[in-house]
Chain A
Amino acid sequence: MPGKRRVSAFDIIGPIMVGPSSSHTAGAVRLGRLGRAILGMQPRRAILGLHGSFAQTGRGHGTDRALVAGLLNMTTDDPRIRDSLELARDAGMNVSFRRVDLGEDAHPNSVEMTLSAKEQEIRVVGASVGGGMVEIRAIDQYPIRFTGEHETLLVAAEDRPGTIHAITGLFLEYHLNIAFSRVERRQRGGEAIQIFETDDPIPDDLVEAMEDFYWVRWARHIPRLND
């Protein structure tokens, strides 16, 4: 079939994962990891709202433990996934679950993560779209879309002229090639989240330099999902 991506031997024999389900377990681990990366640190408190099939068959598939394992930065093949709720408690992470209805347009395997640490709080909505592949669908009130298949830089900034010029200037300075970029904003002249996806790793210096702009509220490097 034309347009289908090329299948690798390891798409067929793999991934190496903790069961039972690529979408409800492996995908949930990846969503937790992305949530943690978006907050920028390990959350002290996590309220996990499960939507649709995640709420209905989540416990039987270990979706709850898988999400928390991801918040603890585990990968899909980590044997400690099944003990993650206890490990989170030991690590001083306060976790609670609830059922949510994110509306008809939400993917049936969706989670709304409200994560906080060090006086920061962030709301992340993500979906597990099949075979362990995931998508972030919203951050705070911004509809947003990225998959974690690339190195990703998120920049939340005032929506004003010249910001993209300044940001891409920094990319040039660090010799980083931008594979994809998008801007999502809530209202004209308000705030916007800009997404940059690159092929090469994004250095910490670049993220710090980004945050030095006074009009940048926060910048975050989201490492590529490599499991």
Chain B
Amino acid sequence: MFDSLSAMIALAQTQGQPLHEIVIAREVEQSGRERQSVWDAMHKRLLVMRQSTEAGIARPVRSLSGISGGNAWRLWQHLEAGYQPITGPILSRAIARAMAVNEVNAGMGCIVATPTAGSAGILPGVLLTLQEAYGFSDEQMVNALFTASGVGAVIARRASISGAAGGCQAETGSAAAMAAAAAVELLGGSPYQSGQAVAITLKNMLGLVCDPVAGLVEVPCVKRNAAGAAQCFIAVDMALAGIESVIPPDEVIDAMARIGRRMDPRFKETAEGGLAATPTGRRLASMIWQRESSEELS
């Protein structure tokens, strides 16, 4: 893919094409596959994303450990019952869908890692809710996923998309930034504005640590996916209004990389710090671990 967002955006500008076209062309060139086969592979992922949001909203999904689950369904029921959410009708549904995917993930359901399993709720939550609100076609949705993947590839190359390497900023931060670039494009913004939305999203999520209770992809991951969707929406509205990030997108990504490298290992998916190290976090962890050693592994 690309080494920088500036290169990706500049190419879109000189060729007068949207970002997704630039990304699809690069994928076709890099993989040697036909354009249709590349497009179909992304379409398949869109369908799995949609199934995972629906599965988590239709009924309460419990995780294997039992420490999370059912919240996407709970919020959805509340909205269906006529509650007027202060986040508005679009964001509230995006939040519910984002949590739905992560609860399905924790319940051993099928998801698309975007970019990781732990941050898999943000992209489907944001994009499928925009589709519902604005009537975008599936073709537009698949294109939006290519735009998102181009952004994610730059972040993976310059920084990291792994919580173990860069903390939660690298997982939910990257996912939210990817979704922001795609949403700006769907809503008629320019490639430049997509880049600004990436910068604003990541800036607002810098430093976020990865501190999962008992090392499981549940607490706080499910609610962090909801938060990532909200951060994405904030940045998209600003970027579409013409608001710019003082720090350019590639420099923000590089800052995230440096912060990730210097982050204490206790805050990088080791379950030794942050929320995992709270009295309740430790109590839940020892409960799960004792159960594991006494049950099937004994």
Contact = CB atoms under 8 A, between A and B. Distances in A.
Interface of A: 1, 4, 6-22, 25-26, 50, 53, 55-62, 64-65, 77, 79, 81-82, 97-99, 130-131
Contacts of B150: 9
B150 to A, nearest CB: 7
A13 B123 CA distance: 10
B148 interface: yes
Given A20-B106, A20-B107, 4 more contacts: A13-B152, A19-B109, A56-B292, A62-B64
Interface in B239-293: 288-289, 291-293
B1 interface: yes
Across chains A and B, which 5 residue pairs bring their CB atoms closest together, nearest first? A19-B105, A12-B152, A9-B149, A82-B108, A7-B153
Contact of B216 (A1, A50, A57): A57
B113, B158, B293, most chain A CB atoms within 10 A:
B113
B148 A13 contact: yes
B238 interface: no
A177 B11 CA distance: 38
A18 B114 contact: no
Given A7-B157, A12-B178, A14-B45, A25 B113 contact: no
B181 to A, nearest CB: 12
Interface of B: 1, 23, 27, 30-31, 38, 41-42, 44-45, 48, 63-65, 104-118, 120, 123, 145-146, 148-150, 152-153, 156-158, 161-162, 164, 178, 214-218, 288-289, 291-293, 295-297
Which label, helix, strand, loop or mixed, suits the secondary structure of the B interface? helix
20 contacts: A12-B114, A12-B148, A13-B152, A15-B113, A16-B111, A18-B109, A18-B110, A21-B118, A21-B217, A22-B116, A56-B215, A56-B289, A57-B214, A57-B215, A59-B295, A60-B214, A61-B217, A64-B297, A97-B296, A130-B164
B113 A14 contact: yes
B105 A9 contact: no
Given A8-B31, A9-B153, A12-B161, A53 B297 contact: no
B117 A13 contact: no
A99 B161 contact: no
